[in-house]
Structure 1
Amino acid sequence: MMRIHFSVDDIARTRLVAAPSRLAVTTLSMLSLSHPKPAPVGSWRWAVRSELRHADSARRLVTAICALEGPVPAFLLSARQGRGLEDELAQLLSTPMRTLQANMRHVADWGGLPGPFRHITEGGGKAFQALAGSIRDYHRVAIAPHWSAVHASLSADLAMKARVLCEGGIEQLLSGLHPRMHWRSPVLEVDSPFDIDYRLNGRGLLLAPSPSAFPSYVPCHPLDEQPTLHYQVGKDRTFRVHPAVQTGSPLALSTLLGHSRATVLEVCAEGGSTGQLAERSGLSLSSVSEHLTALRDAGLISTLSIGRTRHHTLTDLGTQLLRYDFS
């Protein structure tokens, strides 16, 4: 059991990430491959394990991540989302070496460092570049084909959690993060393989959704400026994508709504003005406005006028429509 202790300052500074991080999702998905149960034929784990046979560097990285006896290195779980994986890898590669080495010492205290991480402390920048390349190879095989569905589900959860925060406050948000997390003020109890008391010391907690379960419950790094807790979205299941995405056929949502309207619904998961949604979707302003009207009439989005700007968010019905099964 991990017990995260909050002070009044911690409560005030606890917040949600702005958007899902590709790097964090990529890293956490690797731990799902260590699930003891055999992977059913056709499942995400089965498909990825098959692909990894032909991706040596990615396979070595997964082996190293799954061999860790303690927490995953904090720099691989950064919640600083970028415009894409390359943007987040650039942020990763800009991490000062002294920060990396301090992180490695913390991980090593739990039971040693597997090869790729030990090489970073020994080989410096060249080994770090090699690690980034392995992440890139793994992401291409395991995450990139499914990112649209993953992003939609996590963004919808963030939008729903934001409404809980606005309507019920931070304690209601902490009370409903996950069935395996229990808020007993001023402590958040997290079902975890690590028996640890973690004190935030006034830094607050950054809450980030993840499609994976077990990997989310790792101790936060003590040197983090603001610690991040990656909570699993939905039921306690192994990472998996929606079957429609898994087989490469068109998304069921696109079949139901049409590709453009489904795209507008997906970008609404993060909320935004009409102009912002047009920019994210790549559609014209007039086309987005037309789709928003149809989605609003169907009860899938709600619109709030703030001055001359109209801000759009998903309704509960729209959120449920975007949810996918990650078992």
Structure 2
Amino acid sequence: MTLLRLSPLALSRSRFALSPLAETLASLHVLGAGYCDPWLVSWYDRHHGAFRALLDADPFAKGLVRLLRSTKWMPAHIVLPPAGGMRTTIDGELAEVARAPDALVRAELEKSVAHSWEEHDLGWLTGRDWAARTAELFRRTWTAHVAADWPRRRALLERDVTYRAGLLAAYGWPRALEQMNRHSAWVGADAIRFSHQGSPDRVVGDEGMLFVPVAAVSRGTWLCEAPPASYALVYPARGAAATAGRTGPGPALGRLIGTGRAAILHELERPATTSELAAHLGLSLGTVGGHLAVLRDAGLVTGTRVDRRVVYRRTASGDLLAGGADG
């Protein structure tokens, strides 16, 4: 079992962040496979062929992707804690990736080979400037296959953060970490179980750690580390499958309370802010705010302030009305 140990100060300073680099790595995993989760089929079908052609034309890229998809050790120069919080940019992250010296890259890739469940050699590791070539692969993957979908994914990721921030404000970190993945869990008063693998515990620095959701995978997680004691835990965002498969509120609910309010009540199956609802439903902030006021006055939704945002969720009456009308 691997534990991440946090002091009270580190715990109080831990927070959420977004990472376009982590989202690109997750997308690279999916595109490099011969299959995908059902809700990714449309995106996968549009991009898989072009991505495979990229790998076939570049032995370095092909060898690296195959290794990343079949190892329990993610190379440290690729999995870096995002430095920009919720505003982290792909350019900033790739600049950090490209700075790694060749000696570090080789050492990390050798560890990845040692922790792989497939046979590998590093015969594709030729030439020099391997970190820069890695950054270029990620940039091409981001530009061709992720960037156009990033606004939708970002909205989903921000919604996951909103949900967990609400749990954090109401119940504390153990509840906020609940069901992040199959392995992570709160242990005792000061530690997070990262995995069941036996390896030394990590001690998180006083600046706390980051929790980073990704949308392109439904399972699996990885740990980002930067010396001396900076850590980020990447985990699958909740709701990706449900969002792809949802069909909207039933017509009965729309006839009862109006189509706009019905759409918002249906969408609040998962808590969200006014801006998140507006972005997801394609409505103006004023329109969403007006509908929320009516729903709140009717006792169907309630709002909770989390930092500078108000997070709305359905009440028990809202759940009953939405569930009954949809059914």
Provide the secondary structure at the position in 2 that maps to 1:230. strand
1:18-97 matched pairs, under 5 angstroms: 20-31=18-29, 44=40, 48=44, 51-55=47-51, 56-57=53-54, 60=62, 62-73=65-76, 75=78, 79=82, 80=84, 88-95=89-96, 97=98
> Are the structure 2 counterparts of residues 225 and 286 from structure 1 closer, same or farther at C-alpha, using a change threshold of 3 Å?
same
The structure 1 residue matched to 2:235, chosen from 231, 235, 246, is 231
- TM-score, normalized by length of structure 1? 0.63
1:214-225 matched pairs, under 5 angstroms: 214-216=219-221, 218-223=222-227
State the match for 1:252 in structure 2: 248
State the match for 2:157 in structure 1: 154
| CA shift for structure 1 position 223 | 2.3
State the match for 2:8 in structure 1: 8
Gaps of 5+ in 1: 246-250, 321-327
Q: Is the 8 A contact 1:181 1:188 kept in 2?
A: yes
| CA shift for structure 1 position 132 | 0.5
Q: Is the 8 A contact 1:2 1:219 kept in 2?
A: no
d(CA) in 2 for partners of 1:77, 1:263: 38
State the match for 2:292 in structure 1: 292
The structure 2 residue matched to 1:144, chosen from 143, 146, 149, is 149
d(CA) in 1 for partners of 2:154, 2:42: 21
Gaps of 5+ in 2: 57-61, 114-119, 320-327
The structure 1 residue matched to 2:211, chosen from 207, 212, 221, is 207
Cα-Cα RMSD: 5.1
State the match for 1:323 in structure 2: none
| CA shift for structure 1 position 66 | 1.0
State the match for 1:325 in structure 2: none
State the match for 2:140 in structure 1: 133
d(CA) in 2 for partners of 1:284, 1:50: 31
> Are the structure 2 counterparts of residues 32 and 5 from structure 1 closer, same or farther at C-alpha, using a change threshold of 3 Å?
farther
d(CA) in 1 for partners of 2:315, 2:80: 31
| CA shift for structure 1 position 259 | 11
d(CA) in 1 for partners of 2:181, 2:287: 38
State the match for 1:314 in structure 2: 312
Query: What residue identity is the alignment partner of 1:252?
Result: G
Query: What residue identity is the alignment partner of 1:110?
Result: K
d(CA) in 2 for partners of 1:77, 1:27: 11
| CA shift for structure 1 position 109 | 4.9
| CA shift for structure 1 position 135 | 2.9
| CA shift for structure 1 position 229 | 0.6
d(CA) in 2 for partners of 1:114, 1:82: 37
Provide the secondary structure at the position in 1 that maps to 2:96. coil
Query: What residue identity is the alignment partner of 1:215?
Result: G
- TM-score, normalized by length of structure 2? 0.63
Deviations 1:273-326 (A, max 9, x none): x8x98799885554343233345347345266x9xxx95312156999xxxxxx
> Are the structure 2 counterparts of residues 312 and 30 from structure 1 closer, same or farther at C-alpha, using a change threshold of 3 Å?
same
Provide the secondary structure at the position in 1 that maps to 2:220. helix
Query: What residue identity is the alignment partner of 2:230?
Result: Q
d(CA) in 2 for partners of 1:123, 1:63: 16
> Are the structure 2 counterparts of residues 184 and 254 from structure 1 closer, same or farther at C-alpha, using a change threshold of 3 Å?
same
| CA shift for structure 1 position 199 | 1.9
